[in-house]
């Protein structure tokens, strides 16, 4: 799988540990960089034995920013984060996959509760800016950090609060001031917003605490989790083997990038393989059901999933499926990648 090229236009030092990369797609790849608020890019990074891939959320908004921007926070022992923070400069060209992910609101007009811990602010910032620019709802942000110097986008958040005083509320939780977040603290802060959907991103322990607390309050919670990819999605994958001769053939109607086409789907193979065999430029990364890069929405028809580590019960009820794990139940399936 050949990646897309994106030139680093600028490197912004947000904090001592977090760098933002402002990216300009190569001219011929621009159309493949459309994205929804909260999605991520998969970036190819060097490794000891060749190459590896790491996922970084977009903090830019498709509604307000001309260029894409990802923010990378240095992690102790982190392969990708340390390489990027130590080596990437303006003018460099990165190899990336097209934007993907399901951590995105279905409507920008809904009132939302956004919760971030540390660099988990990155996709949350994309959602926040998009809602304020293109929606009518109110947004509350709970943002946890070690101390004031650790707050990424502090100036931008302050400016947005001043610009939208009736629609945006930002509450900072600083370990240096309030101590570590507790269920009681999170519950107290969330009570005015329990009718809202919540989007949560941050360290694993923090997300578990918030998710458990919000679930106990009866809230709908969306969580962004990243898994280390076991394979290199930038390598050309093995071509899907030919389906068993004489097997049943269904069909897929697929909407992508504003176009619709219908392709055959042998019932013996997974959806992604059928799409790639037909020449559809379907997004994917891990091919293991762990990353949601291949997620699409089933508008008609039914599938089963061989594996699924990222979609929750409500996602599935909303029609989201993982193309890399989907096998047909019905003869015909209609899907969309266009949101």
Residue 313 clears pLDDT 90, i.e. is over it: no
Residues 6 or more apart in contact with residue 86 via CB below 8 angstroms: none
Of 82, 172, 81, 76, nearest in space to 118 by CA: 172
Ramachandran region, residue 58 (left: φ > 0; alpha: ψ -120 to 50; beta: rest): beta
Q: What is the DSSP letter of 30?
A: G
Length of the chain as a residue count? 339
Give the model's pLDDT for residue 281.
Answer: 87
Chain-wide mean pLDDT for the chain? 92
Q: Quote the Cα angle for 221-227-233, to 5°.
A: 125
Of residues 30 and 116, the one with the higher pLDDT is 116
Which pLDDT score, from 0 to 100, does residue 243 have? 56
Average pLDDT over residues 145-153: 96
Give the pLDDT score at 284: 86
CB 280 within 8 Å of CB 263: yes
Total-model pTM: 0.87
Domain 112-223 CATH assignment equals 3.20.20.100: no
Does domain 249-336 fall into CATH 1.20.120.140? no
Digit-coded pLDDT (tens) for 195-225: 999 999 999 999 999 999 999 999 999 999 8
Domain range list for the chain: 4-96, 112-223, 249-336
The predicted model gives 56-68 an average pLDDT of 96
Choices 2.40.30.10, 1.10.3720.10, 1.20.1250.20, 3.40.50.970: CATH for 4-96: 2.40.30.10
The per-residue pLDDT for range 11-53, each reduced to its tens digit, is 999 999 999 999 999 888 888 899 999 999 999 999 888 888 9
Residue 247 clears pLDDT 80, i.e. is over it: no
The tokens of 267 are what?
């019932």
Closest CA to 9 of 54, 65, 61, 67: 67
């Amino acid at each position: 799988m050949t990646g897309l090229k994106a030139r680093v236009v600028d490197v912004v030092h947000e904090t001592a540990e977090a760098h933002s990369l402002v990216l300009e797609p190569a001219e011929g790849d621009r159309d493949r960089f459309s994205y929804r608020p909260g999605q991520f890019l998969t970036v190819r990074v060097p490794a000891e034995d060749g190459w590896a891939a790491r996922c970084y959320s977009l903090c830019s908004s498709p509604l307000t920013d001309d260029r894409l921007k990802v923010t990378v926070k240095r992690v102790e022992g982190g392969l990708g984060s340390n390489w990027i923070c130590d080596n990437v400069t303006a003018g460099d060209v990165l190899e990336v996959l097209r934007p993907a992910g399901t951590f995105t609101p279905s409507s920008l007009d809904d009132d939302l509760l956004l919760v971030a811990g540390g660099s988990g602010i990155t996709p949350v910032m994309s959602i926040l800016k998009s809602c304020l620019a293109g929606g009518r709802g109110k947004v509350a942000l709970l943002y946890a950090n070690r101390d004031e110097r650790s707050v990424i986008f502090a100036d931008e958040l302050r400016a947005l609060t001043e610009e939208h005083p009736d629609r945006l509320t930002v509450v900072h939780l600083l370990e240096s001031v309030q101590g570590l977040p507790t269920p009681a603290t999170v519950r107290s802060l969330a009570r005015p917003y329990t009718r809202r959907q919540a989007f949560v991103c941050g360290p694993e322990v923090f997300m578990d605490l918030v998710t458990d607390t919000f679930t106990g309050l009866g809230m709908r919670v969306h969580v962004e989790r990243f898994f280390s990819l076991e394979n290199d999605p930038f390598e050309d994958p093995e071509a899907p083997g030919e389906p068993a001769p004489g097997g049943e053939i269904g069909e897929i109607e697929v909407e992508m990038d504003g176009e619709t086409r219908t392709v055959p789907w042998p019932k013996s193979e997974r959806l992604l393989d059928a799409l790639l065999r037909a020449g559809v430029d379907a997004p994917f990364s891990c091919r293991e059901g762990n990353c949601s890069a291949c997620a699409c929405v089933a508008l008609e028809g039914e599938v089963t999933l061989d594996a699924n580590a990222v979609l929750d019960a409500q996602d599935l009820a909303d029609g989201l499926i993982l193309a890399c794990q989907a096998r047909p139940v019905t003869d015909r399936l209609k899907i969309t990648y266009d949101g």
